């Protein structure tokens, strides 16, 4: 049980950083696309 808990605890920050990086890159992509549409008008 202790080993399983240790593995789960060490995996949480990795998931959080990956989720944050995914959201950040998605926002950057959406902002770039939005600014491209605005400059088109």
Q: Sign of torsion, CA 14 20 26 28?
A: negative
A 10 A CB-CB count for 3 gives: 7
What is the model's pLDDT at position 31? 94
- The DSSP line for 1-41 is -HHHHHHHHHHHHHHHHHHHHHHHHHHHHHHHHHHHHHHH-
41 vs 26, more confident: 26
> How many domains, in total, are found in the chain?
1
> Which domain range does residue 26 map to?
1-41
pLDDT tens digit sequence for 19-32 = 889 989 999 999 99
pTM of the model: 0.49
């Amino acid at each position: 049980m202790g080993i399983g808990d240790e593995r789960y605890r060490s995996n949480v920050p990795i998931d959080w950083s990956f989720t944050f990086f995914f959201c950040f890159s998605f926002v950057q992509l959406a902002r770039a696309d939005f600014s491209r549409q605005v400059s088109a008008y």
